[in-house]
Amino acid sequence: MDFQESEDILAIRDTLSRFIARECPDSAIQQWEAQDTIPREMSVKLGKLGFSGLCVPEEYGGLGRNVIAMTVVLEELTRCSIALSAIYNMSAGYGGLNISESGTEEQKKRLLPGLLTGEILFAYGLSEPDVGADLANVKTRAERKGDRVIVNGSKRWTSGADVADYIYTLVRSGPVEAKRKNLSFLIIPTNSKGLTITRIPVMGAHGSSTNDVQFQDVEIPFENVVQGEAGWNNAWNILAGPALEIEKLSPSAIALGQAEAAVAEAWAYSQQRVQGGKRICGHQAVRHVLSDVQTKLQACRLMLRHAASLVENRQPSAVATSMAKLFITENAKEIVLACQQYVMGAYGYAHGFNMERYVRDVLVGPIIGGSTAIQRNNIANLMKLPKE
């Protein structure tokens, strides 16, 4: 497998580097962090770069299916701010990917143009107060009444709901006993009557919100059922499709970007900080830490590239994506903590350096997009390890 980056990928990195230098000064990032929000206009500015169409076919105005490129965009944006990669993912991943993969022709024509420009944002509505990884047990109910659908229930950890235009929502659309056979995906406008959004304060990932969402007799047209008639009671097949594999790659790419940013800061700091009469990059203990984190970074890059290549080429990828999610998010956490604790010390714990933000942000990686424990279960099950 060729791990050399193509000219297209290098051009994407260069474009994003110039965009970040121009549009994301430190003062703006600090403001997003302090206010725990990112302006919607950043989505539109990102949309003008065209990268929201990296998983959208050209016939709908996208750039075609380029999973590797999408992970690179998430990685590069996260090196700047997790808020930036999150708002990008709301148009490119939650919206563009899911609608282009699973939407009806009408849904694609209606929604993809706004998703591609960053003017429409999607949130994810999967988990519930009593339902995490076991999505077959969702309790939020949808009742069909002619050409309308009535929704009641609640969702938790709904990423970006408070700034989104729609929530891509998994609901129970039939008897609970049938579990996987009676699930549907709905596209629910956030301005719907009876829909209430409550923000959940969290320790990190500021600017990338998570929310509780309540549905009380929320009414939407049946045309907002993903895949229409074919999608009613068929969400499990949609959920288990290509979008799920990319859903595991997205937090992996984000974690990689966080780890790269932390290593870059620690690497530079080690060459500026003087102790014992010389720069600390000359002390063997520090050199060993920095060598270790660079080595782990390279391993993470290779795992992500391998898994993304399998998904892009529509080859069996479930094991590789679970391994990537497990390995990268856990190692990113170790990398960031090592940079803080063993290189920057107290300065990595203080405001004024980005390191303390990286520490808070990287801790969410092993939780979102399928926890570390779930990925371990996936790997053992997919590789057919006997349970008895």
Does a structural domain hold residue 388?
no
Look at residues 120, 152, 186 and tell me which one is the last residue of a structural domain.
120
Whether the pTM exceeds 0.85: the reply is yes
Residue 179 is assigned to a structural domain of this protein: yes
Q: Give the domain extent around 299.
A: 241-382
Residues 178 and 102 in one domain: no
Q: Which residues face 169 on adjacent strands?
A: 125, 186
Q: What's the confidence (pLDDT) of residue 388?
A: 86
User: Quick one: 229 and 248 in the same domain?
Assistant: no
Same domain, 112 and 152: no
Angle between helices 284-312 and 67-80 (to 10 degrees): 150
Residues 227 and 269 occupy one common structural domain:
no
Domain assignment present for residue 147? The answer is yes
Q: Which H or E run contains 96?
A: none
Whether the Cβ atoms of residue 32 and residue 83 lie closer than 8 Å to each other: yes
Q: Are residues 196 and 321 in the same domain?
A: no
User: Which contiguous run of DSSP H or E holds residue 272?
Assistant: none
pLDDT score for 330:
97
Pairing, β 166-172 against β 122-125: parallel
Averaged over successive runs of 10 residues, the pLDDT of the chain (388 residues) comes to 80 95 92 90 93 90 90 96 94 91 93 95 91 83 94 93 94 84 94 96 89 96 94 87 81 97 97 92 96 98 95 91 97 97 94 92 92 94 92
Are residue 245 and residue 194 in the same domain, yes or no? Answer: no
Write down which residue in 185, 212, 238 finishes a domain. 238
Same domain for 246 and 371 = yes
DSSP run (H or E) holding 123: strand 122-125
Q: Are residues 112 and 11 in the same domain?
A: yes
Instruction: Please indicate, yes or no, whether residues 93 and 136 belong to a single structural domain of this protein.
Output: no
Domain of 62, CATH number, reads: 1.10.540.10
CATH number at residue 341: 1.20.140.10
State residue 151 phi and psi, 5-degree precision: -120, 135
- From 180, 209, 238, the end of a domain falls on 238
372 and 262 in a single domain? The answer is: yes
Q: Is residue 378 assigned to a domain?
A: yes
Q: Domain with 222 in it: what CATH number?
A: 2.40.110.10
Q: How many CB atoms lie within 10 A of CB 8?
A: 12
Is residue 322 included in any domain, yes or no?
A: yes
375 and 300: one domain?
A: yes
Please say whether the beta carbons of 371 and 212 come within 8 A. no
**HSE toward the beta carbon, residue 93, CA cutoff 13 A:** 28
- The answer to the question of residue 1 being in a domain is no
Structure tokens at 382: 């997919």
Residue 223 shares a structural domain with residue 313: no
Q: Give pLDDT, residue 180.
A: 81
Q: Evaluate whether residue 2 is within a structural domain.
A: no
Residue 205's pLDDT is what? 87
User: Has residue 387 been placed in a domain?
Assistant: no
How many independent structural domains does the chain possess?
Answer: 3
What per-residue confidence (pLDDT) applies to 237? 86
